Structure 1
Amino acid sequence: MKPIKLCTALATALLLSAPLAAFAQEAEEETPLINWSIAATSDYVWRGSSQSDENPTGQAGLTFNIPGGFYAGAWASGVDFGGNKPDFEVDYFVGYNVDFSDSVNFDVMVNRYTYPDAAELNFAELITKTTFAENYSLTVAYTDDFGGSDASGLYYAGGASFGLPNDYSIDLSLGRNTFDDEVGYEDYTDWSVGVSKSWGMVSASLGYYGTDGNGRDNFGELADNRVVLTLSVGN
């Protein structure tokens, strides 16, 4: 499968410039050098559709934070698309995070989705997320090779997160998925409502996920409305 030219070029630029930025700026004390997480979830849902055939799975992630706002890492999850393969998804990413002001944060990342033993599905995506006043966010993601199809896909979503007493929080999101005709999917909308609770390094979240009729036409029962419970530990 051909690599994504745009995303690969941006990833290379970020990687090459990261060491320079590390020496140019002082490290932010509040950002740890390494972030890690291990989780168990009742269903791996991505943009409204189950990636684990509606079954529980495990997930793990590791991120290296470079002084100056750059970061790189990997994240993995069990998947089940039917048949014998693939059994795992492993994502590799590199990105940059910066505060534009006291109330606006911007994050840009190149994420490479890979599926061992099913490389024809591999693709990369350029993802930006702008956060306003800590509570509101706008995400835009683009790929020119969705699912290894050599066709483009665009995703944009709005989100909101609000802290509640006793370390609870509530999270809301509404997203729109659009595709070139060659992808073979209809454009669709996904949404989620969730509540989470943290106890230091341990957290639990309970979310309700769904899609519109086009999403269910695309993915069948895998895009039905569902409740997902996730337990995680990490820093």
Structure 2
Amino acid sequence: MNHATRCTAAAVLCAALLAPFAASAQDEAESPFSWNITGVSDYVFRGVSQTDENPTGQAGFTYTSPVGLYAGVWGSGVDFGDGSPDVEVDYFIGYGVDVSPNVNFDVMLNHYSYPGASDLAYTELITKTTFAEHYNLTVAYTNDVWNTDTDGWYYAVGGEWALPQEFNLTANVGRSTFEDGIAKDYTDWNVGVNRSFGMVTLGLGYYGTDGNGRDNSGKLADNRVVFTASVGK
């Protein structure tokens, strides 16, 4: 699932488009639309900073049909160095279904795009199975990781648990593997706490990778604390 204080053009555009939905929050129970606008102290994807360890803005919008089909768009600022793209825009379509009272299965096709840098774009198939609402297993595959015509897999297990005073604890461990030696296989992990105040959620997380992750990405894969503030429904 593999990106400088600036609210990117994509985030600003999404925020403008989403404003009417914020104004009609009283209809949220019936609405098939969901949205979020987020500020992060660092955009970390699978243990690696996508913003050169700087803050950025993010925004997303999803439509979910009554039968569980959904589609949406998500945008974030990125910074991969001089001459690199400034924005990541992901387009996704998926389907979620309760296969039993305690198991939910979700499959999604996600296209990672970088306006102005089409040579980085690629598509990934992501499945997530949630057990008893608190535990999840993710398996993702692409045959074109980082637009290199190379197979890449991602496996992760995670969980979320309620804490006193309406706080939540989250934890995740993931493993990225690659064909053809394009990068070293590596493990990433994170643990965090968050709390919602109505439509606003604040979170603090600690992210890291193993030695192979740091060999691949240098300081961008160092252990770090990330603060997140989001509004949405």
TM range (shorter): 0.7 to 0.9
**TM norm structure 1:** 0.86
- d(CA) in 2 for partners of 1:30, 1:144: 39
- d(CA) in 2 for partners of 1:163, 1:84: 44
Alpha-carbon shift at residue 164 of structure 1 (Å) = 1.9
- d(CA) in 1 for partners of 2:124, 2:96: 17
> What CA deviation, in whole Å up to 9, does each residue of 1:48-78 have, x standing for no partner?
0000000000000000011100000000000
Equivalent residue, structure 2, for 1:8: none
- d(CA) in 1 for partners of 2:201, 2:37: 11
Whichever residue aligns with residue 223 of structure 1, its letter is A
- d(CA) in 2 for partners of 1:66, 1:83: 41
Task: Tell me how large the CA RMSD over aligned residues is.
Answer: 1.1
Asked if 1:215 is matched to 2:209, the reply is no
- d(CA) in 2 for partners of 1:102, 1:85: 46
Whichever residue aligns with residue 107 of structure 1, its letter is D
Question: Cα–Cα, structure 1 residues 122 and 198, in superposed 2: closer, same or farther, change >3 Å?
Answer: same
Alpha-carbon shift at residue 213 of structure 1 (Å) = 0.1
Whichever residue aligns with residue 90 of structure 1, its letter is V
- d(CA) in 1 for partners of 2:84, 2:148: 18
Equivalent residue, structure 1, for 2:174: 175
Q: Which runs of 5+ in 1 are unaligned?
A: 1-28
Equivalent residue, structure 2, for 1:191: 189
- d(CA) in 2 for partners of 1:203, 1:193: 16
> What CA deviation, in whole Å up to 9, does each residue of 1:26-54 have, x standing for no partner?
xxx96731000000000000000000000
Asked if 1:227 is matched to 2:225, the reply is yes
Q: Which runs of 5+ in 2 are unaligned?
A: 1-27
SS of residue in 2 equivalent to 1:147:
helix
- d(CA) in 1 for partners of 2:88, 2:204: 23
- d(CA) in 2 for partners of 1:76, 1:85: 16
- d(CA) in 1 for partners of 2:204, 2:191: 9
Whichever residue aligns with residue 228 of structure 1, its letter is V
Alpha-carbon shift at residue 85 of structure 1 (Å) = 2.1
Alpha-carbon shift at residue 167 of structure 1 (Å) = 2.3
SS of residue in 2 equivalent to 1:100:
strand
Whichever residue aligns with residue 160 of structure 1, its letter is G
> What CA deviation, in whole Å up to 9, does each residue of 1:178-233 have, x standing for no partner?
00125x21000000000001001000010000000000000000000000000000
Whichever residue aligns with residue 175 of structure 1, its letter is G
> What CA deviation, in whole Å up to 9, does each residue of 1:113-153 have, x standing for no partner?
00001100000000000000000000000000000000010
- d(CA) in 2 for partners of 1:52, 1:102: 40
Query: After superposition, where does 1:129-140 map in structure 2 within 5 Å?
Result: 129-140=128-139
**Aligned residues, how many?**
206
- d(CA) in 2 for partners of 1:119, 1:221: 26
Equivalent residue, structure 2, for 1:20: none
Alpha-carbon shift at residue 84 of structure 1 (Å) = 2.4
Query: After superposition, where does 1:17-96 map in structure 2 within 5 Å?
Result: 32-96=31-95
**TM norm structure 2:** 0.87
- d(CA) in 2 for partners of 1:234, 1:84: 33
SS of residue in 1 equivalent to 2:170:
strand
SS of residue in 1 equivalent to 2:100:
coil
> What CA deviation, in whole Å up to 9, does each residue of 1:62-120 have, x standing for no partner?
00011100000000000000012200000000000000111000000000000001100
SS of residue in 2 equivalent to 1:151:
coil
**For structure 1, which segment, 162-171 or 62-71, has the greater mean C-alpha deviation from structure 2 after superposition?**
162-171
Question: Cα–Cα, structure 1 residues 142 and 135, in superposed 2: closer, same or farther, change >3 Å?
Answer: same
Whichever residue aligns with residue 220 of structure 1, its letter is G
